[in-house]
Structure 1
């Protein structure tokens, strides 16, 4: 879906009401604090491991890529990864894309030190997925870019090399899919007022588990991924998640929004 209005820059309200093509649904944006708490609950109470959560998140990202940019539109997918879990989601997505018939490549300027990231890197190398070092050249030879740099834990300010990287992504002429949040955006307040990322508006965004408050400022195709939450978790955080169709790991959501205190608008 396309978002068609620009709303005032202010703190994000408690809930968004989205409409799917088939039925009206209500989704709640979840703060970065609650998102971290939810992940903790999943692992400490629900028995999930970080590996499992990252695998399912990356699978969701790969399905969003297939939905918006099937291989027939171009197989060269550049995945730009940050040093944390968001980057790990990108590494997993790249492995799935290689299995789908794409030709992914990875730009990973600051590899994560966790042993999990090292294993994901080894898996990609075993699939002959290249790790590139020249981002501008890679952008010019790619058909789609996945922005997997920063997720819900990003709080700024940007430190090199990421201001330069985000500026290069921001001015890229190819479609961009951002994972969980457009990198450089404040999770609550959206894009920065100036500097790298201030004009960054990716063509597509996939929110993992639940939308984050910055989605208020987003205009583009919006997907939700993370089909693994239990009823207790959904109720505890009041997420009101949509029904995922069939065996899909993603669902496209948007466009109408009910903003508390502002009435309905187009986001």
Structure 2
């Protein structure tokens, strides 16, 4: 299987089109993304093996995907906890948090301590739109992810990575290469530097849209929302 990658500008333009002429709402896109993340987690390690999953959420859409994933993980039988230190003022994030609180999913402010009590971590801090400096409190969080022996699943991009150029040469993300990555809709160019298990998720885009933006829809099976793509299975 060989898939074309989707650059940052094209990914942003695709999102805009999906929410305009595509008639998708941001809620729908987050729901579909979060469901894909939770299915990738289940494929990696079911709740019988890794029940305690810590979901680290940033303030943007990537964090929203993580909040949705935490809800699905609860229903899948996991015991998720959520680190969400910089909640957006957008009411969508307040609703996603409320849904988790109603399920008694705990929120933590002690990231390092919670990592030590977890079997797996989901990195939903920064996605394809990240650029510039990593700001507090996330430098210490990303360093902890890089140094931890607890396996990590990154959502769309390992946090602090450059979408086009991959792993940073210095800063908190230096040496950070998580165990698994789920690319949403299509792989991004950074997969060239990624070393772990790679999934693609987001089963809702038409073939016409995929061709317009120059990426491929992977061969999803049955009701699956994710496909595992072997390393080197992307056209850069």
TM-score of the aligned structures, taking structure 2 as reference length: 0.97
Matched, 1:49 2:21: no
2:169 match: 193
Matches within 5 A, 1:213-252: 213-252=189-228
2:158 match: 182
Return the match for 1:76 from 39, 52, 68: 52
Segments ≥4 residues shifted beyond 4 Å: 257-260
User: Per-residue CA shift, 1:178-211, capped at 9, x if unaligned?
Assistant: 0000001011111111121110011000000011
Give the deviation of 1:235 after TM superposition: 1.3
Contact kept in structure 2, 1:156 and 1:186, CA below 8 Å: no
* Richer in strand (by share): 1
CA distance in 1, matches of 2:54, 2:234: 36
Matches within 5 A, 1:148-187: 148-187=124-163
**Structure with more relative contact order (C-alpha pairs < 8 Å, separation 6 or more):** 1
Matches within 5 A, 1:1-267: 25-256=1-232
Give the deviation of 1:255 after TM superposition: 2.6
Give the deviation of 1:130 after TM superposition: 0.5
Give the deviation of 1:243 after TM superposition: 1.2
CA distance in 1, matches of 2:118, 2:209: 39
TM-score of the aligned structures, taking structure 1 as reference length: 0.86
- Secondary structure of 1:58's counterpart equals helix
CA distance in 2, matches of 1:258, 1:91: 28
C-alpha distance 224-242 of structure 1, shift in aligned 2 (>3 A): same
Structure 2 unaligned segments of length 5 or more: list them: none
RMSD: 1.2
Bigger shift: residues 247-256 or 176-185 = 247-256
User: Per-residue CA shift, 1:148-167, capped at 9, x if unaligned?
Assistant: 00000001211111111101
Q: How many residues align?
A: 236
Contact kept in structure 1, 2:5 and 2:234, CA below 8 Å: no
